Amino acid sequence: MTAPARGRWGGRAGVTLIELLVAISLLSLLSVGMLMALRVGLSALDKANSKLIANRRAASVQQILVSQIAGLMPVFADCPAEGPGMQRVRVPFFEGQAQAMRFVSSYSLEEAARGYPRILEFQTIPGDSNGGFRLIVNETLYSGPLSTGASCLALLPDPSQNGALTPQYRAIEAGPHSFVLADHIAFCRFFYKERLPPEAPESWVTEWRRPRLPAAVRVEMAPLVADPSRVPLAGVIVPIYVNRMPNVRYADSFK
């Protein structure tokens, strides 16, 4: 019975060790190729997502600046004045510098246009170790002239305004509650448009200490590293439509 069994099994074909190794090698190469293709696809998807997020961030920065500046409110600040008893004098609240700006707006990052007015403080500060600058904004709840007057140090004569008393404000500081609007930027500057007759040429200044509001605010920004494939971080020009000061009584004002 041994001989017939050996003949019956000997007629079947088998797989050699070399054929098995070749099959495993081909399967391994196919798996590596699929993994490499998957990796390239995921990398391209990640780059596309990062560019989309960066483009949306650049567009949102411009939209936020436009909304906050357009929502400017003409309010007062109780500033201490030199003299007996250090009495407080109520003055219009607006501060404009080349790299800082402070005013009250009806639009905030926390509640958009649906919440309470906020005291907004914009400041350009140095960036991280990679260099450049960043634009931050502080938001504080506005509750009246005393809340805005908390940032006013004193009323001092300003030689550029013919000796008129001008509010001197505290320096804007970055803190744990500061929101970074733009990061890794080459520069950020604020300009203020003077209110002139229509036939007069435009005039922009880098500092605003006048008792009236500017006609518009221009914000200039540029990215630290230019990337043609992304939306550039461009500046904005926002007109201020408030043309009446709160401390002036007009002929058509309601009593």
pLDDT, tens digit, 9 for 90 and up, residues 143-196: 988 999 999 988 877 777 676 778 889 999 988 889 999 888 899 999 999 988
pLDDT, tens digit, 9 for 90 and up, residues 47-97: 777 777 666 777 788 889 999 999 999 888 988 876 555 578 888 899 999
Q: What is the pLDDT averaged over residues 28-32?
A: 89
Would residue 219 count as lying in a domain? yes
Q: Domain tally for the chain?
A: 1
For residues 88 and 81, the answer to whether their CB atoms sit within 8 Å is yes
Q: Which CA distances in Å does 216 have to 51, 70, 108, 182, 236?
A: 32, 9, 19, 21, 10
Would residue 11 count as lying in a domain? no
Run of H or E residues at 146: helix 145-149
DSSP state of 203: -
Would residue 19 count as lying in a domain? no
Using the predicted structure, report yes or no on whether residue 255 has a pLDDT greater than 50.
no
Strands 152-158 and 95-96: unpaired
Would residue 63 count as lying in a domain? yes
For residues 98 and 219, the answer to whether their CB atoms sit within 8 Å is no
Would residue 144 count as lying in a domain? yes
Would residue 249 count as lying in a domain? no
What is the Cα–Cα distance from 182 to 238, expressed in whole angstroms? 18
Would residue 185 count as lying in a domain? yes
Using the predicted structure, report yes or no on whether residue 99 has a pLDDT greater than 70.
yes
Return the number of other C-beta atoms located less than 10 Å from residue 121's C-beta.
23
The residue segments making up the domain with residue 61 are 43-239
For residues 234 and 62, the answer to whether their CB atoms sit within 8 Å is yes
Tokens of 39: 């990796």
**Distant-in-sequence, close-in-space partners of 214: CB < 8 Å, separation ≥ 6:** 96, 192, 193, 194, 195, 208, 240
What is the Cα–Cα distance from 91 to 245, expressed in whole angstroms? 10
